[in-house]
Every structure is written in structure tokens, then in C-alpha cells.
Structure 1
Amino acid sequence: MDIIRNSQSVCYCYNQLAQMEWKYIWSTIQVKIASSDMLSIVFPMEESNCQYPETILAFIKCTIHTFWKPKESNDITININPYEKSMCFYVKSAKKNFAYTLRVNRNVVDTKLFLVFVTGIVLFFKAKALSRSAVFYYSAGTLLGILMTLVFFLLFMRRYIPKCSTFGALMVGCCFASFYLICQLMEEIKWLWHENKTFILGYILTMGAISFAACYRHGPLVKERSINLLMWTLRLLSLVMIYFGVTTAQVAYAVMVLLISSQGLQYSFRAFCHVGRKIKEYSKSKKLMIKHITEEEYREQAEIETAKALQRLREFCCSTDFPSWLTISRLQYPKKFAEFVLGASHLSPEEIRAHEEQYGIGGWFLEEQLFSSGESQEPNPQQEEVVEIQEVYQREGEPL
């Protein structure tokens, strides 16, 4: 029945759907109860199940229901998961004669559930990047300081708590207390905003400034251990959001397994690629590749190596181990040697020109070596002069 009008405390029950349908994985059944009198809702089945809770989630729900009793109201909305166990509730009022109207609507796609599910998946994949982002660090720290002040200050007092067990117990207590306070404030958020707008804005600005200053003083996370801890905390939070973002636990478990497996496959693929590269490098090192170079490559390498050798020679001459006075006393042109050490060329323009005339294209020495026979070779005075110059340079220690 879509609309029920009644004036008595009647127990209403919802029986779960027998077969799961994919189009209803984000659907909810919404029950709205409206009356001119103040009403309250009682869940007798949950109260009986709290005597022997079977799971941790059931224990958490029982604990929340123990401390957080829904207040009386003339407009009550209940969201029911279509694939949960059968749920019963009955409407209760302080008056004996009261009238109320109960409406049942089915949302095929609950926007809140869908957004929570998508946000959880995005957060899981972006956790690594967000954990290294300074903007996310300051934003999350400021928001945490505003919404969960106890948890925020406990995190910054971590260094003064020596035992991890003590810190864990305090963290669990602060999380439950902050969650309970947020739930209580959410029920009265409209009234609080209407009556105490100035105090709420003052609290947000004050705590936001204090939280941002504390985060700025501490600075973004630098240690890899802290960054990895934040990354896995965000991923755990994303898995919780995925679990509560769908109406069927089977779908949530399947999505969580796929996400965790994707990370495992990523690491396995990286390890496989690393091993493949190592094997490839090892196989290449076993095979000696001999490659012949061209004449142009030979000249290019000769110029490069000559420049390197000359630079090493200059560095050695500038070092303290070099016998400078002894070398200068033996040189015929010490000024030329000093200019070479300071960065000048080791050859003068006259020597370069003489080398080109002798060994360049069209040089007399090269032509004589090519076209003269080996049997009738007469001594050349110019050739003897070149040999004498080379001997003099070698004896004096100057490069030619």
C-alpha cells in the first residue's frame, strides 16, 4: 500500500526481496510519516538483536542506537534497504488519540548512494596522488579540525603519547564521540543555523584558522612512512564508502575485490617488467657486439678524446703536485705553455698552417708518400727538418 492512514500504534514490517535485480543496486525504499502530533519510531527487532549481536557491524549499530535515540517529530523519514533482513517498526505517540499518514516510495536510483559509491572508487585510485598533495593535506586537515576537533588534536598530540595501545584506544573513543556529536547536530542543523548563525560561523572560522595554522606549522608530509599510512587510510575509507554506497553486500564485496586485485596486478606487472629488463640486460652483456666505425666517426672520436686529454693535462698542470718551476726551466717557450694552461690552444696558427701544407689535401709530403717508389727514396731536407722539430718538441715536453 502506498498510503496508509491510521490513528493507532501499529507495527509495520518490510520483507526483503527474494531475488536480487541489478537495476536496484542503488535503490532505497523511503517511508515518510507525517502527523499533526509528535511521534517517535521504535524498532523492536533491533532491540532484540542487540542482546546477542552476531557481527561487528551489528554491535556498532546497537551501540549507536543505545546512545542515540531518535527524537520525537511530526515528520519522520525512514530509508530502508530493499535487500536487508526483514525490518519492523511501530509508530508511538505520547497521546492516546493521534492521527498520522504513512507514505511508501521507491527510489530506483538513490542519488546519495550513487555519489557515495562513485566517490569511493575515485578516492581509491586517487589515494596515492592525494597523499602527496599539499593542497589536499591542508584542506583535509582544516576540515577535520572543524568537524572532528577531538580527533584532530589527538593526531597532533601523538608524539606525547608513548604507547600505541593507549593512542589507539583514545582514537577509537574520539572517533565515536565525534561521530555521535555530528549525528546529533545533523538532526538539529536547521534549528541551530536559524537560531545561532553567528556562533556557528564564528566556530567554523576560528577552528578553521587554528587547524590551518597547525597544519601549516607541521608542514606537508615528507616521510614515506607517513605518506603510505595516509594513502592506505584513504583507500580503507574508500572501501567503506563503496560498502555503504550500494544496497547489496555481494556487489560491494565484488567491487572491493576487483579494486584490490587491480592494485595487485599493477605491482605484479611492474615486477614482471623489471625481471624482463634484467634478463634482457644480462643476455646483452653476454653477447659481445663488435661494430666497425667509419672514417668520419673515427675523426670525431679522435677530436673528442684529444680535447678531453688536453683538459686533463691542464687540470694536472694547475694542481699542487705538478712541478711547475722545474718544467718552466726546461721549456724553450714558457709563455706559450702558460697560455695553454690558461685555456689557449696548444697549436699556434703557423703550426696549423704548416700541418695543412704538409698533411692536407695537396700537401707535398702526402703526395710524395703516395707516388714515390719504395726502392729509390732520397733523403729530403724538408722531411729531415720536420723530424728534427718533432724530436725537439718531444725532448722539451711540449705537445706538437
Structure 2
Amino acid sequence: MYFNMRLIVSLLFIKIIILSTICLNSAVSPSTVHYMEKGDTVEVGPKNSVPRRELNIFCHRGIPKGIVHMWLSVTLHIDHPSNDFTHYEGPNEEVVEKEHVDNHFSWSLNIFSGNKRKMFKLEPFNTSCIGIDTSKSYSVHLDVIRLDLWKLLLLVTGIIVFMYADKLSCNTTFHYLCGIAFGICASFLILVYLVSKMFPKKTFMYGIMGCGWTVVIYILQMLWDNLRLIISSYRLYVMWYTIATGILSFILCYRWGPIENPRTINIIKWFMQFVGLACIYKSSDYQEAAMGQIVILLMTYNLPQKWVAAPKTYWKKKFPPKVKVLTNDEYYEEGVRETAKALEELRKFCSSPECNQWKFAMKLNDVKRFASFIEGESHLSDDEILEYETSIRGEMTEEEDDDITEDSEEC
């Protein structure tokens, strides 16, 4: 009896394997592989009169690495009438087919299937494939951009952030801008906090938070996918939300003031430099060249100042700047302007607590004149002004006489 039961179970197991193999061979149709180059467009439609899901694989073989291809990008565009398709990604067609088979005979749930991607970034220097499983007609276009401006902009942004991280980390305006931006983006945390107050039981709240993060991620994904539609449809609400959260964030930043702790400033600087290096690394798919740029930037940033100043000094000696000679009117105007500026600075210093007025007054002959100068009156007396104008007129008369004498001698 026991032997018969084992035999029946073995036969059933063999039968299940045979039926599974038959179903596998009948359900998964053979895929079609398309190798595409720059500018290629492939039109795909159902092969049979009865629509049936078919897998088509689109591959790009990649190009050799080179410095001229540092900012190269390869994009695959899918023009599908709806979102009724499933895509698979892999380094070759075998991996894509395996993912297709695994997905076809397994339980899977994709909560982000409402708005699917129709543009895929491919690796420009390696073979990469995209598989599309659908029963409708669609077209696929491969676009190759030799100089991707977004990658070049990312490189320039990374260099600027890295080089100016030291100054930006101490800039008060930068602190306020970052605080306002963080407040606008993190305002959703206030909503989560208010919702958490409605559930006093900790265990129940943990369950809500554990299950709720999936909903939060789903909502954020939907917001990101439909960001342009949301901004165009609810422009007024988005504007007022941004203004309200921005003003609230500014008030909080103004209340607490800018960051003054030197260690916190160093942490901000290091974080900004790390972000800059990450931007440089992500600006190119040619990872060796990106790492070379990072090494050159680090070496340039840590060079001694005397090594940096030596080429500048040599250049100034080799090519000295042209000196602009001032005219008499320009010289007079600059003298008046600089004198007024220096007198104003002196007046402010004498009025400040840093100046000991009594100590200076003991050394002066006319203390009343010094006090009048601090209160805003002229630093010259009427006699001094008259004497100065008389001397200027005398010099001008002598110059005119000299000019007349030279003219008469020439005649």
C-alpha cells in the first residue's frame, strides 16, 4: 500500500512537470531581437490576426570609449498608444528573456504601473537591451546625443559647488535660501506629525507608519510623474503653497539666525564638496574620465598658494598691464572723491566707541574745530579755502603766461 502511494505521487509529480513545461512552451512565445543604431526607428505590430502579447527586445551594442564621447547619451523612446505594456531591462537579450519568463510565471505586483516610463537611458559604452511585452502596435526610436548639455551643465555645477563650498558655507544668504528650500520640501513632515497625534496607541501607530510609507511613496511617485500636469492645472494652489511655506521657513530661519558654529560650517562645506564631486562623477558615463576629472580637481584645489601665485606673477612680468594716464580733470575728480570718502571714514571712526576722543583732544590746538568736524562741518576754515583758491589761480595764471610765451617764441 505504501509502495503504491509513492508510485502515484511520483507519477503526479512527473505529470505536473510535463504540463508545466508544455504550458511554458505554449505561453511564452519566442522573442524578436532588434539591434539599433543612431536614428533608427522600428515599427512593431501584432503578427497574428488575433492580438497576442509578444516580447520584442531592442538592443544597442555601444561604442568604444573616448574623450570625445565623455558627454554622450543614448536614449530609447517608446511611442505606445497606452500604458498596457511591460518592460524589462538587462545587459543582453538572454537576461531580458529570463526576466520575462520569471515575471510571466510568478506573482508580481507593481504599484507604480499607472504611469509607466516611455524613455529609457541606455549605457553608451556597453551593450544594453530593453524588452517590451505588449499586444498592441507601437514604435521605438533610438536617439544618440554626442554632447548632452544636461551632463555638461551637471559637470560645471559640480565644479562650481566644490570650488565655492568654503565661501557658500559661511554665506548668510545661502543659509537662508537653503533653509527656505528645505522648509518647502519638508512641509509634508508636518502633516505626518499631525496625523500621528490622532493615534495615541504606539503599536497601532507603528503599524500605520509601516503600512503608510508604501502609500506615501506611491503618492510621491504619482506627484513626480504628473508634476507638470499638477503645476499647470493647480497653478494658483501651488503658488500660494510655495509662498506660504517659504515665508514660514524664512521666519523660522530668521528666528534662529544663521549658523555660526565653525564645526557645523565645516560639515556643511564637506557635504557641499561631496555633492559637487558626486555631480562630476554622474556627469559622464565614461567613469574613468570622470574619476580623472575628480583627481585633477582635488589636486588643483589642494595646491599651495605660492605655486598658484608663481604663474600669475610671471605672466604679469612678461605681459604687464597697460597703465592708463589720467587727465587733469580726471585727476581732480578722483582727488575730490577720494578725499571726501576718507574724511567720511575718519568722521565715523572718531564717532565710534573705538576712538578715545579725549586723548585726541589733548593733542589738538583747536578742540572746537575737531568737535565741529565730527558733527559734520567742513574740515577747512574760510581762510584756508581762500588761500587755496588764490594759489590755484596763481598757478593757472603762470601756466597761461608760459603758454603765451611759448606761442610767441614759435611765431
Cα pair distance change 1:263/1:68, threshold 3 Å: farther
- The 5 Å alignment of 1:69-108 reads 69=112, 71-72=114-115, 76-83=118-125, 85-93=126-134, 96=135, 98-108=136-146
| Residue identity matched to 1:190 | R
Q: Deviations over 1:264-321 (max 9, x none)?
A: 3238979xxxxxxxxxxxxxxxxxxxxxxxxxxxxxxxxxxxxxxxxxxxxxxxxxxx
Distance in 2 of aligned mates of 1:124 and 1:78: 30
The offset of 1:19, in angstroms, is 2.2
TM-score normalised by structure 1 residue count: 0.50
Distance in 1 of aligned mates of 2:287 and 2:215: 27
Do residues 145 (structure 1) and 186 (structure 2) align? no
Classify the secondary structure of the residue corresponding to 1:252: helix
Structure 2: gaps of 5 or more residues: 1-35, 47-53, 96-108, 192-213, 309-361, 366-411
Say which of 234, 255, 258 aligns to 1:196.
Answer: 234
Distance in 2 of aligned mates of 1:266 and 1:35: 58
| Residue identity matched to 2:148 | D
Does the 8 Å contact 1:144/1:152 carry over to 2? no
| Residue identity matched to 2:132 | V
Distance in 2 of aligned mates of 1:39 and 1:130: 48
Instruction: Report the counterpart of residue 32 of structure 1 in structure 2.
Output: 77
Distance in 1 of aligned mates of 2:78 and 2:277: 33
Instruction: Report the counterpart of residue 10 of structure 1 in structure 2.
Output: 55
Greater Cα offset, 256-265 or 208-217: 256-265
- The 5 Å alignment of 1:210-289 reads 210-266=248-304
TM-score normalised by structure 2 residue count: 0.49
Distance in 2 of aligned mates of 1:247 and 1:82: 7
Instruction: Report the counterpart of residue 19 of structure 1 in structure 2.
Output: 64
Q: How many residues align?
A: 231
Distance in 2 of aligned mates of 1:111 and 1:179: 31
Does the 8 Å contact 1:40/1:71 carry over to 2? no
Does the 8 Å contact 1:26/1:113 carry over to 2? yes
Distance in 2 of aligned mates of 1:179 and 1:117: 30
Does the 8 Å contact 1:143/1:208 carry over to 2? yes
Classify the secondary structure of the residue corresponding to 1:38: coil
- The 5 Å alignment of 1:1-400 reads 1=36, 2-7=40-45, 9-17=54-62, 19-45=64-90, 69=112, 71-72=114-115, 76-83=118-125, 85-93=126-134, 96=135, 98-149=136-187, 184-266=222-304
The offset of 1:23, in angstroms, is 1.7
The offset of 1:6, in angstroms, is 0.3
Q: Deviations over 1:314-337 (max 9, x none)?
A: xxxxxxxxxxxxxxxxxxxxxxxx
Classify the secondary structure of the residue corresponding to 1:37: coil
Does the 8 Å contact 2:62/2:123 carry over to 1? no
Does the 8 Å contact 2:155/2:280 carry over to 1? yes
Does the 8 Å contact 1:41/1:89 carry over to 2? no
Does the 8 Å contact 2:67/2:289 carry over to 1? no
Q: Deviations over 1:4-37 (max 9, x none)?
A: 0002543424355352122211111121111223
| Residue identity matched to 1:145 | G
Q: Percent identity?
A: 19
The offset of 1:218, in angstroms, is 1.6
Distance in 2 of aligned mates of 1:68 and 1:242: 33
| Residue identity matched to 2:179 | G
Structure 1: gaps of 5 or more residues: 50-65, 154-175, 271-341, 346-400
The offset of 1:70, in angstroms, is 5.7
Greater Cα offset, 222-231 or 30-39: 30-39
Cα pair distance change 1:92/1:71, threshold 3 Å: farther
Classify the secondary structure of the residue corresponding to 1:146: helix
Classify the secondary structure of the residue corresponding to 1:123: helix
| Residue identity matched to 2:270 | W
Distance in 2 of aligned mates of 1:152 and 1:133: 28
Distance in 2 of aligned mates of 1:263 and 1:146: 34
* RMSD over equivalenced CA pairs, Å: 3.7
Does the 8 Å contact 1:134/1:220 carry over to 2? yes
| Residue identity matched to 1:78 | F
| Residue identity matched to 2:75 | Q
Distance in 2 of aligned mates of 1:151 and 1:120: 29
Cα pair distance change 1:134/1:35, threshold 3 Å: same
| Residue identity matched to 1:82 | P
Distance in 2 of aligned mates of 1:200 and 1:207: 11
Q: Deviations over 1:368-394 (max 9, x none)?
A: xxxxxxxxxxxxxxxxxxxxxxxxxxx
Cα pair distance change 1:80/1:344, threshold 3 Å: closer
Classify the secondary structure of the residue corresponding to 1:43: strand
Cα pair distance change 1:42/1:199, threshold 3 Å: same
| Residue identity matched to 2:271 | T
